[in-house]
Structure formats: structure tokens, C-alpha cells
Amino acid sequence: MDMDENVRSVTAPALPPPEKQSRRTLRKRNPVVDKSALRFRPIPTSTSTSRSRSNNRGASEEDSNKQKQTGQTSHKNSSEREARVRELKNRAMSIPSTGKTPATVRQRMVMQMVYDEITPYPDEAWVSQLGIIINREYHQVKNWFSNQRQKDARDSRQQSPSLAATSALEASLCKINCDGREMRVRVSALDSCSAEAWTDAFFDEVVMIHNFRLLAKLSQDEARAALHDSNISTTDTTHAHSRLP
């Protein structure tokens, strides 16, 4: 009996206590990863932060450069327009004034078209363009629009004394942006084209076309009148010869 016990004690392996064994098997092991073997290596936090800061700095510099370029372009366009308006005004003022001589039929019809269909408040650029097209001095065109507004105000007060004349006129107008400045135009002027289409060049084109059509019509009327007069004189001459013995 004693020998058997000694043999068992020698051959049997020494087992750790149950508690220690369970702790070893449940312990979490952190795997060791060789970062050099990864295909996509993680970017360090400091590097990514510096890149984002540099990108933001570059975007802000680009925005500021764009704003500077936009400001320089608008300032350049404004300066060019002011120079062009001064040139137009000088040309319109250099037209010989007719004094108190009223405007011709054609000149009055063109100004009336602008007043009724475009605006009763043309600025110095549009007054200059209008004067050059119809060949009438700058101040004479400007005074015609002023007198026409006063005349309409008197007529409005006579028709409806309770209604202010200025409110009736303003109700027919709307504000638009034309080549960088604010203009008041007739609401009817926006029926055929948008507010963005109204520029100095477009105004000049509209007035020139209307003036050309009036010139053509007046020339035709004069030609017809001359032909009619010649026919009458020919008829009178024929009758006079027929009465001779």
C-alpha cells in the first residue's frame, strides 16, 4: 500500500488549483499586429489634423481671392460705365438747342413712348441716349419729362382729388437693377422681357428701333402726300387745258 501511493504521487502531474486555472483560460490576450505588414497604414492624428487645417486655410484664401477679384471687376465696370455716361452726356449737351421751339412730331412720339411704356424717370444715361437718338439737346429732353410728369399730376388731381397723384404714378412703377444702379420702370415694360434684360444697351436698341420705324412711316406719309399733291396739280392742269377754246 505504501509503495502504490508513492508511485501515484510521482507519476501524477501536479495540477494547479481550480481557481488559478480558470483565471488563465479566461484572461484576454491582445493580438500583436505588425503595422508594417498592413496594406493601408493608419494616418497619424497629428498629420490628418495638419492636412485639414492646411485645406481649410487654402479654401479661405481662395474665397478671399475670389471676393477681391469680384470687387475689382465690379469697381472696374462701375468706372467704365461712369466714363461712358459722361461721354454720352457731353455728346447730348453738345447738340444745338432749339430754345423754346417745341419738339417735332417724331421727337415727341419717341419721348412719349419712353414715358408711357418704359419709365417716366429716365436717369442721365437714358436721357443722354434718348437725346442723341432723336437729335435733341440734353436739358430739353430732361425738361420735357419733368413737364410731362407735372402735367399728369395735374390731370390726376382733377380726375380724383382724394387720390394723390404721386401714389397713382408710383403704383404703375417697379424697381429693377439696371447695370448696377436702381431704376424705376413701368410694370408694362416687364411684360415682354424680364427685369434682367433691361440694360443701357437694350434701352438704346428699343429707342433706336422705335425711332427708325417712325422715320420710315413719316417718310412714307410724306411721299404719299407729295404724290397726292402732284396728282391734284396734274388734274388741275388737264382741266385747265380742256377749258381752252
Q: Are 207 and 133 in contact (CB under 8 A)?
A: yes
Measured between alpha carbons, how far is 187 from 119 in angstroms, rounded to an integer? 9
Average pLDDT, the chain: 79
Q: What is the DSSP code (8-state) at residue 116?
A: I
- Report helix, strand or coil for 175: strand
* Helix runs in 12-44, H state only: 18-26
| pLDDT level of residue 211 (50, 70, 90 thresholds) | very high
Q: Is the pLDDT of residue 40 over 50?
A: no
Q: How confident is the model over 123-182, as pLDDT tens digits?
A: 999 999 999 999 999 999 999 999 999 998 888 888 776 665 566 778 889 999 999 999
Tell if the pTM clears 0.85, that is, is over it. Answer: no
